[in-house]
Amino acid sequence: MADEFYKLPLRLDLLTKKAAPARLTHCSMEDSIRNNLYLITTTQYNEARYDGQFGCTIWDDDFNVGNDSIYILWTDRIENSLRASIRRYEPRLERVKVEVSVNREGTPDAHKLVIIKVSAEIAPSNRRPFTYQREIVVAPFITKIR
């Protein structure tokens, strides 16, 4: 059905049961959009077999980021990547604005806290405002030499 949205993680065992309560398998349109944005954000390009363009660039350079000038280039690249993926894979959103920032305070060693903010309008609901925020700790592998 066009107006049914499924929760993540997808519970196929419950979906196949006719008596399963909808509250266990379904969610609102806003939650469905948030789930899709989460998948886009946490998927690397070429990771999804069905479409190599699904995802974003956040995982491409996570080991290379070191100084502030590179952060600016890195966040701009992520913003552009996310904006393009959202336009392509989340048609329910219009007027999409993406903001990516990096915070190293309170994170150990080389870890980075990437803060992603998306603001948009939900097209099928008469342009109702929509916001999404996700914080991801991007951490290259750290080993100690003995």
CATH value at residue 57: 3.10.450.40
| Of residues 117, 125, 85, 98, the one with CA closest to residue 5 | 125
Q: Please tell me which residue, 97 or 42, carries the higher pLDDT value.
A: 97
- Is 50 within a domain? yes
- Is 72 within a domain? yes
- Domain count within the chain: 1
- Is 145 within a domain? no
Contact between 110 and 104 (Cβ < 8 Å):
no
Contact between 6 and 27 (Cβ < 8 Å):
yes
pLDDT-derived band at 143 (thresholds 50, 70, 90) equals: very low
Backbone angles phi, psi at 145, to 5 degrees: -85, 130
Range of the domain at 60: 5-138
- Is 73 within a domain? yes
- Is 66 within a domain? yes
Q: Which residue has the tokens 């309560």?
A: 21
Average pLDDT over residues 66-76: 71
- Is 32 within a domain? yes
- Is 125 within a domain? yes
- Is 143 within a domain? no
Q: Please report the pLDDT score of residue 14 as a whole number.
A: 78
- Mean pLDDT is lowest, of 3-17, 82-96, 102-116, for 102-116
